[in-house]
Amino acid sequence: MSEHSGHAIAERVQGIVDDHAEMEGPLLPILHAIQDEFGHVPEEAVRPIAAALNISRAEVHGVISFYHDFHTEPRGRHIVKICRSEACQARGGQSIEDKARELLRLNWNETTPDGSVTLEPVYCLGLCTSGPSALIDDRPVAKLSGEKLAALVKELD
């Protein structure tokens, strides 16, 4: 993450690219490996990836920006994803969204100043019959209420 210097990032990115050199269609596995390593895909990673794969930097950026699971900035230690699908909206999802933003004092895709929590929208968690729902640090939470969300957010401290 931010504790990595530019040289350290470049060195590690090159190692990851080298690890995937023999793979067919390596871009997504490389991006996943880089995000696993740094918690995001740093800008410094784009040029060596593009050079190694003989594609343009715009193509690498295009893939990063297309997939919502790739992030170009460090995220919080905890990730709170609130489902914004129509099914969750029909079950009171808007009030959960409002409560999440109020509790965390964040808007979508923002991280608390201390880096503890990032709030993100998600557009279906497959819990449509028991919404509104959320994903908190990869743990699905169904039948979410404002009180339940407040208790879960408090546990993140």
The pLDDT tens digits of the residues spanning 76-110 come to 999 999 999 999 999 999 999 999 999 999 999 99
* Polymer length in residues for the chain: 157
Q: Of the ranges 7-11, 18-22, 73-77, which one carries the lowest mean pLDDT score?
A: 7-11
Q: Are residues 86 and 143 in the same domain?
A: yes
Q: Could you tell me what percentage of the chain is helix, strand and coil, using 3-state DSSP and rounding each to the nearest 5?
A: 50, 15, 40
Annotated binding residue 143: no
The conformation of residue 82, written as its DSSP 8-state character, comes to: E
Q: Are residues 117 and 86 in the same domain?
A: yes
Annotated binding residue 83: yes
Q: Are residues 33 and 86 in the same domain?
A: no
In a domain, 82, yes or no: yes
Domain that holds residue 89: 78-155
Give the tens place of pLDDT for each residue, 143-157: 999 999 999 999 997
> pTM above 0.85?
no
Annotated binding residue 88: yes
In a domain, 47, yes or no: yes
